[in-house]
């Protein structure tokens, strides 16, 4: 007697996966070759150079690494030349636009070349097409200023210091999104450098699948050098930040929930976000960011914003009274509010709107986070943002994106801050514990949504796998066509990858 253990046919040889790891080239050699290719004219700088430190500054101190060299291209042709060299010699590299990533190693690299697009920050506006052409290394401030002259604005960052490139390739939440959709929905054309160095345009006429995949696809397909953007006319822009005591928690959350599940679609010129925070002394703040993309009298605001400003929620006060301004002016105010230079980590998840779940999640956040309050410089934030019907409809009407959102959700995020690198390990523990408990709580309530917002994602989150089967399938096809050797997976260690790459 014998037993057949297994029956199989065909070969047992496992074929090499697409994107099998290449042997990486020596980074010092790569820097030297790059420097030579650019005739040693100063486009490549080393740690000993005077300009290295300024080029290597990040919004989050914890996102800073020490690249072997930093390369600053002047134009798209320079980017193409460098990518060809990287591909040919298997050089590891990172791509940086505004350096606002919350994650170490995403727009930074320890052993490799950092391509920093900061010098490619040109913004031009065409009075005939009414489009703005924006190079990837610009900050939203540059864009707002350049187009304001023509009395138009763009669907860009809430904080004016954020970089154009990372923001648009990850989605892009704007104060104008309830009317116009994600920032990335308003891209008319991407100029992109592919792995083989080809410079191509992706838009509604050519490279259409790539065009869609890039809207949420981050750095997986190439280096985007320039975006052509829709512009919109906005008479005025008014924003304010209200601050509420803990005793107002429930009333505030109820009012914001009502707004987020109804009023937001009644008046999509409005935009309201909730943010709670506390620090090492456990002193907390409950903040509300309310803005309106037209004239607004703070003493007599539009109907949907009134409940937050008329005193009906106990002890509401305005932390930032704002006069009629522009999107850029509000973005600068927010920038002053969100101070740079700390160590930080942020995670995200999404839920089906539900008031009692929100209150429960808030409690979970307080409970887990306060165990870490003895960490030097500790601060913790909990926030949410509705993605409602008109926003989703605006995305669809512009051709859609790769994020796979079909119906209203709340995007949540939690963020922690601390001051010393010695606490990185402990805070990594908080990161995992907190998001796991929050997700479990939402799952238990049957309200956890798969989708996760890339630009708010933590490095341990596998964001793109949460875009949905159809979207991921399409991105995989685009990946196979435009980056068949998986250069942007294997040579670029950082960033959120497409599953399997
Ligand atoms: C203070 C602050 C405020 C923020 N406010 C908002 C907000 O209002 N709305 C919102 O939606 N998000 C906001 N964010 C999140 C922000 O959108 C992301 O951090 C975004 O990635 C920043 O873009 P960046 O160009 O500055 O990032 P970088 O750190 O330079 O890059 C981020 C990622 O994108 C990749 N990348 C960058 N440029 C390119 C390119 N040209 N081609 C290919 N890949 C590229 C990088 O490799 C990296 O993986 C904010 C972040 C901070 C820190
Ligand atoms: C890379 O090359 C440099 C200079 O030749 C050398 O000092 C260094 O040890 C090499 N690094 C590795 C990891 O081989
Ligand atoms: C912008 O608006 C201002 C004020 O209404 C007006 O004076 C100016 O001419 C406008 N500029 C353009 C380019 O339309
Ligand atoms: C903690 O937060 C409160 C309220 O915002 C603030 O007044 C206080 O200065 C903060 N303390 C520390 C140590 O940061
Ligand atoms: C903003 O401008 C409008 C229209 O000119 C005016 O009615 C309103 O009072 C202004 N608001 C503020 C806060 O200045």
Where do the DSSP E strands lie in 327-442? 343-351, 379-387, 409-418
Tokens at 73, concatenated: 């291209």
Three-class SS state of 8: coil
Cβ of 52 closer than 6 Å to ligand 3, yes or no, is no
pLDDT at 16: 47
196 phi/psi in degrees, rounded to 5: -90, 5
Find where tokens 């280096």 sit. 223
Instruction: Report pLDDT digits (tens) over 101-131.
Output: 999 999 999 999 999 999 999 999 999 999 9
Query: Residue 108 in 3-state DSSP?
Result: coil
Nearest bound ligand to the CA of residue 348: 1
Smallest-distance ligand from the CA of 322 = 5
Nearest ligand to the CA atom of 279 = 4
* Ligand 1 site-directed mutation target among 134, 167, 344, 463, most atoms within 8 Å of CB: 167
Residue whose CA lies nearest to ligand 3 atom number 11: 150
Cα 295 to averaged position of ligand 5 atoms, centre (Å): 6
For ligand 5, the distance from its centroid to the CA atom of residue 403, given in whole angstroms, is 38
Give me 28's structure tokens. 């010092």
Q: In this predicted structure, what is the pLDDT of residue 296?
A: 87
* Cα–Cα nearest to 34, from 76, 75, 66, 70: 70
User: Which ligand 2 atom is at minimum distance from the Cα of 27?
Assistant: 1
Q: How far is the CA of 214 from the centre of ligand 1 (A)?
A: 14
Task: Tell me how crowded residue 495 is: count the other CB atoms within 10 A of its CB.
Answer: 24
Q: In this structure, are residues 363 and 369 in contact, taking their beta carbons and an 8 Å threshold? A: no
Which helix (H) or strand (E) element contains residue 87? helix 76-89
**Cα 498–Cα 499–Cα 501 angle in degrees, nearest 5:** 70
User: Whose CA is closest to atom 4 on ligand 4?
Assistant: 283
DSSP state of 294: S
Q: Please report the atom of ligand 2 found closest to the CA of residue 111.
A: 13
The 3-state DSSP class for residue 428 equals helix
Check: CB of residue 248 under 8 Å from CB of residue 280. no
In this predicted structure, what is the pLDDT of residue 14? Answer: 53
User: Residue 178, by phi and psi: left (phi above 0), alpha (psi -120 to 50) or beta?
Assistant: alpha
* Domains of the chain from N-terminus onward: 27-116 (3.30.43.10), 123-233 (3.30.465.10), 236-325 (3.30.70)
Q: Quick one: which ligand is closest to 337's CA?
A: 1
With a Cβ cut-off of 6 Å, ligand 1 is lined by 59, 95-101, 106-107, 117, 136, 157-159, 162-163, 165-167, 169-173, 218-219, 223-224, 338, 455, 494-495
Alpha helix (H) residue ranges in 217-326: 249-258, 264-266, 306-309
Cα separation, 366 vs 39, whole angstroms: 56
Q: What are the C-alpha distances in Å from 311 to residues 188, 244, 248, 272, 305?
A: 43, 10, 11, 17, 12
Instruction: Give pLDDT < 70 ranges for the chain.
Output: 1-22
User: Which of 126, 130, 151, 234 for mutating ligand 3's site (highest number of atoms within 8 Å of CB)?
Assistant: 151
Model pLDDT, residue 7: 41
| pLDDT in the model for residue 299 | 84
Rg over CA atoms, the chain: 23
How many angstroms is it from 379 CA to the middle of ligand 4?
A: 9
What pLDDT is attached to residue 124? 98
> Given ligand 5 and candidates 238, 322, 324, which is best to mutate, with the most ligand atoms within 8 Å of its CB?
324
Q: Evaluate: CB of 297 within 6 angstroms of ligand 5.
A: yes
């Amino acid at each position: 007697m014998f037993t057949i253990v297994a029956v199989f046919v065909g070969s047992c040889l496992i074929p090499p996966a697409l994107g099998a790891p290449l042997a990486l080239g020596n980074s010092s050699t790569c820097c030297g070759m790059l420097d030579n290719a650019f005739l040693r004219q100063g486009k490549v700088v080393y740690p000993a150079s005077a300009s290295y430190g300024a080029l290597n500054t990040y919004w989050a101190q914890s996102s800073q690494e020490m690249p072997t060299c930093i390369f600053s291209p002047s134009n798209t042709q320079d980017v193409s030349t460098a990518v060809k060299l990287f591909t040919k010699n298997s050089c590891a590299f990172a791509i940086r636009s505004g350096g606002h990533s919350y994650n170490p190693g995403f727009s930074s690299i320890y052993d490799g070349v950092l391509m920093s697009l900061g010098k490619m920050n040109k913004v031009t506006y065409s009075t005939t097409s009414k489009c703005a052409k924006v190079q990837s290394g610009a900050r939203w401030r540059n864009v707002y200023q350049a187009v304001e002259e023509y009395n138009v604005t763009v669907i860009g960052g809430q904080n004016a210091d954020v970089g154009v490139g990372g923001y648009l390739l990850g989605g892009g939440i704007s104060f104008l999104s309830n009317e116009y959709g994600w920032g990335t929905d308003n891209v008319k054309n991407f100029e992109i450098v592919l792995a083989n160095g080809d410079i191509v345009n992706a838009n509604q006429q050519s490279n259409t699948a790539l065009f869609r995949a890039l809207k949420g696809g981050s750095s997986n397909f190439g280096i985007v050098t320039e975006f052509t953007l829709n512009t919109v006319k906005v008479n005025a822009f008014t924003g304010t930040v209200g601050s509420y005591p803990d005793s107002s928690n429930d009333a505030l959350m109820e009012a914001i929930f009502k707004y987020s599940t109804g009023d937001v679609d009644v008046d999509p010129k409005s935009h309201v976000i909730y943010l709670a925070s506390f620090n090492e002394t456990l002193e907390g703040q409950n903040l509300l960011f309310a803005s309106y993309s037209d004239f607004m009298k703070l003493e007599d605001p539009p109907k949907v914003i009134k409940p937050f400003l008329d005193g009906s929620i106990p002890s509401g006060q305005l932390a930032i009274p704002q006069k009629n301004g522009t999107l850029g002016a509000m973005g600068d105010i927010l920038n002053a509010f969100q101070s740079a230079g700390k160590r930080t980590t942020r995670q995200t998840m999404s839920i089906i709107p539900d008031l009692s779940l929100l209150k429960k999640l808030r409690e979970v956040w307080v409970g887990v986070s306060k165990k870490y309050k003895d960490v030097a410089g500790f601060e913790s934030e909990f926030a949410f943002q509705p993605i409602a019907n008109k926003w989703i409809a605006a995305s669809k009407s512009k051709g859609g994106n790769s994020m796979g959102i079909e119906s209203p959700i709340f995007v949540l995020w939690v963020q922690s801050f601390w001051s010393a690198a010695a606490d990185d390990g402990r805070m990594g523990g908080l990161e995992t514990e907190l998001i796991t408990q929050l997700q479990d709580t939402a799952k238990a309530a049957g309200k956890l949504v798969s989708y996760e917002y890339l630009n708010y994602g933590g490095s341990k989150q596998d964001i793109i796998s949460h875009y949905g089967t159809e979207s991921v399938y399409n991105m995989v096809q685009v990946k196979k066509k435009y980056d068949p050797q998986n250069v942007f997976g294997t040579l670029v260690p950082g960033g959120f990858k497409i599953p399997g790459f």
